[in-house]
Structure 1
Amino acid sequence: MTKGVTPHMVTVSTLTLVKVALILLLLWALYLIADVLILLIASLLFAAALDPWVDTLQKKYHIPRAVCMLTIYAILIAVISSAIVLIAPPLIDEIGQIAQAFPHYYTQINEWLINVNQQTGSNGAPLQSLSNAVTSATTGAFSVVSSIFGGIASFILVLFITYYLVVDEGAIKRIAMIAPKQHQAYFTNLITRLQKQMGIWLRAQVTLMAIIGAVTYLILLAIGMPYALVLAMIAGLTEFIPYLGPLLGAVPAVIIASSISPLMILTVIAAYYLMQLFENNIIVPKIMEKALGLSPVVSIMVFLIGARLAGIAGALLAIPIATAAMVVINDLLSSRNRSEAKPNSR
């Protein structure tokens, strides 16, 4: 006679249910204030990037942190303003030329798709896809312009928050005081490590974007490619997109080259390929070697999830947030491994 399986009763205490409810309520509250959290995270990221510079100025010249921060802001504003004065006129001129030539590019691509349609015997889906893409791009352009004006106000707010976070040297580390007393030392150490690593990542990323933009401009200028400045700006900005950025940055250049000649298409593809080799083998190992990274698949997925949840801001902050999360996860795994190793060592 087979013995019956004794059923096990699973009981959940009221306290556990309350904890789960509080966690869900907290997550919902964080979702409601997502915009504010994005500004705070951006401020923490900028503070992490600027804090080493302020520390260096303070220790070397013995001046208050507030003066150091204002000096750095003044230098950054001067550099950015000079760049705008130098770049804006030719950039606006090239954008105007592209806008005038856009119908020509659209017609050429349209004719190419018609030939593809006739040769493959498809039902015109490529043409419809192109039309939809143009409509989406036009609508998206207006959305980007409107978001830029809203983004300026947010950026100014981020600068103010960053200023106070850096000037008040212990402001960020005081977050650790929220944790239970026995864990405060760990959280203080964790915040210090995250602050250092995020600062390294941001400075390295900005440097990489600037170098790629400058190199792209010089190469496109050398091969006689029109709209070199606009295409270089696109190449630099798309570097922020992990792994897919260089490919996306090359697409507009190839489209414009297709309206010139087959030789120019091959030249542009070869130029971007050489730039990619230069980036992967020389620039990235030198600049990004100290910056924390994620695997390609995780980076792309995190970027797309951030863009889906919080738009442009979410996409920009997704990688540093995921990197910080990986640091915490690695700490937890290391702690668990140490705990499991102790009984075995006895």
Structure 2
Amino acid sequence: MAENPRSAGFATGVLLPSAALIIAGLLLWQLRHLLLLGFAAALLAIAFSSLAKIIDERSGIGWYLSLLVVVVAVISGVAGFSSLLGAQVTGEITQLARRAPDLAISIGNWLGLEDPWRWLEQQARRVFRDMSLLQGISGVSSVVYSTLIETLLVVAGGIYLAARPAVYRGGFLRLLPPNWRSRGASATSEVARALRIWLLGQFLAMIAVGVLTTLGLFALGIPSAIALGFLAGLLEFVPYVGPVISAVPALAVGLAESPTKAALVFALYFAIQQAEGLFIAPMIQRKAVDLPPALAVFAIIAFGIILGPMGVVLAAPLTVLSVVLVKVLWLEETQHNGDRPDRVSDRKPASETGR
């Protein structure tokens, strides 16, 4: 019995590509955590490359030596911070951890919770349940070890990507169909530019928020001011959600002192966030990409639901990536084809053009 050519063409042209897309989608979903680690490494590579480019242009020592200077400087900076303030921050964090049960109980009583410490334990288990890559080990040590391993992977990946960015970019573009490569090159360049500016702005915001919070808590006489300021600066990387999370332990410590201290701590955090929103955030939005607050908040929630805790941490740069890709690959193409909304009203109906 002869095979129907139409059925064979349908199977080859529709079913096989559809099955391949479904399999690829399922594979990417299973590897989503690894892909997030790769995206974090790419962010680090952009930061390293930006600094290395400045050094190379001003000194002329070559790309690899410039990158080596950047890596050594970053490692030295982290080591210097750890030696100067690491013990202080660690001690204050330990002190906060020891006071956590009492703080949780006092806040729970204030909020009307029957067993606040048990409620916090349940929420912590839910948050960290899917965070580890090492599924065979359980407990807190699993999270610590896997986080350390993942951090080392991100740093190593960032260095390798920064060492030869053109090679990896060219390899990615060669995976695209020939007629897509020009737009792909434009999109990758625009994404790298936007993320570079966003990273610079976030770095400045993190330093400013961390320093101002520490000084403000010192002035208010709040215990563990350095640890709380360090936490505020670190969580500033996650817009809107991070500052709220960082304020919780500070409010808890202030409430343990007195309701007046808690009110002053709230006013301090609110004032710092308003100042950050007035001076630093506009610079990021003007030069990188304008992210409306509602879009940023819902993006953080969406990425958190889909990708877990790491999705929350990387939600802002992922949103920048998504907005730039939509702008370059869709909106600019639509405008190039003359389908802008302001042109729609100028088109005459077919009945008029046919006269």
TM-score range, shorter chain: 0.7 to 0.9
Distance in 2 separating the partners of 1:96 and 1:159: 27
Q: What residue identity is the alignment partner of 1:271?
A: L
Deviation, 1:256, is 1.5
The question of whether the paired residues in 1 share the 8 Å contact of 2:235 and 2:243 is answered with yes
The question of whether the paired residues in 2 share the 8 Å contact of 1:50 and 1:199 is answered with no
The question of whether the paired residues in 2 share the 8 Å contact of 1:208 and 1:287 is answered with no
Please list, as runs of the form range in 1=range in 2, the aligned pairs for 1:1-346 lying within 5 A after superposition: 13-14=10-11, 15-113=13-111, 126-128=113-115, 131-137=118-124, 146-174=142-170, 175-286=172-283, 289-331=286-328, 332-341=330-339
The question of whether the paired residues in 1 share the 8 Å contact of 2:213 and 2:229 is answered with yes
Moved more, 309-318 or 129-138: 129-138
Moved more, 74-83 or 60-69: 60-69
Deviation string 1:75-104 (CA, Å, 9 cap, x unpaired) is 000001111112221122223332343343
User: CA, structure 1 residues 189+100, in 2 after alignment: closer, same or farther (shift >3 Å)?
Assistant: closer
Distance in 1 separating the partners of 2:309 and 2:125: 17
Deviation, 1:140, is 6.4
Moved more, 253-262 or 135-144: 135-144
Distance in 2 separating the partners of 1:227 and 1:340: 59
Deviation, 1:60, is 2.5
Q: What residue identity is the alignment partner of 1:99?
A: A
Moved more, 17-26 or 335-344: 335-344
The question of whether the paired residues in 1 share the 8 Å contact of 2:198 and 2:288 is answered with yes
Distance in 2 separating the partners of 1:145 and 1:139: 16
User: CA, structure 1 residues 143+153, in 2 after alignment: closer, same or farther (shift >3 Å)?
Assistant: same
Deviation string 1:22-42 (CA, Å, 9 cap, x unpaired) is 211111111222233223222
Aligned residues: 324
Deviation, 1:72, is 0.4
Point out where structure 1 has 5 or more consecutive residues left out of the alignment: 1-11, 117-125
Deviation, 1:135, is 4.5
Q: What secondary structure is seen at the aligned counterpart in 2 of 1:315?
A: helix
Deviation, 1:197, is 1.3
Deviation, 1:206, is 2.4
Distance in 1 separating the partners of 2:88 and 2:188: 44
Distance in 1 separating the partners of 2:209 and 2:141: 24
TM-score by length of 1: 0.83
When the two chains are superposed, the root-mean-square deviation of aligned CA atoms in Å is 2.9
Q: What secondary structure is seen at the aligned counterpart in 2 of 1:36?
A: helix
Q: What residue identity is the alignment partner of 1:171?
A: V
The question of whether the paired residues in 2 share the 8 Å contact of 1:177 and 1:184 is answered with yes
Deviation, 1:230, is 1.9
Deviation string 1:297-340 (CA, Å, 9 cap, x unpaired) is 33223223333343333222232223222222223133123324
Deviation, 1:161, is 2.5
Distance in 2 separating the partners of 1:249 and 1:199: 25
Q: What residue identity is the alignment partner of 1:49?
A: A
Distance in 2 separating the partners of 1:287 and 1:298: 15
The question of whether the paired residues in 1 share the 8 Å contact of 2:238 and 2:316 is answered with no
User: CA, structure 1 residues 166+108, in 2 after alignment: closer, same or farther (shift >3 Å)?
Assistant: closer
The question of whether the paired residues in 1 share the 8 Å contact of 2:48 and 2:159 is answered with no
Distance in 1 separating the partners of 2:68 and 2:139: 33
Distance in 2 separating the partners of 1:144 and 1:296: 34
Distance in 2 separating the partners of 1:232 and 1:43: 26
Deviation, 1:166, is 2.1
Q: What secondary structure is seen at the aligned counterpart in 2 of 1:170?
A: helix
The question of whether the paired residues in 2 share the 8 Å contact of 1:204 and 1:291 is answered with no
User: CA, structure 1 residues 68+251, in 2 after alignment: closer, same or farther (shift >3 Å)?
Assistant: same
Q: What residue identity is the alignment partner of 1:69?
A: L
Distance in 1 separating the partners of 2:40 and 2:289: 17
Moved more, 70-79 or 150-159: 150-159
User: CA, structure 1 residues 158+99, in 2 after alignment: closer, same or farther (shift >3 Å)?
Assistant: closer
Q: What residue identity is the alignment partner of 2:269?
A: Y
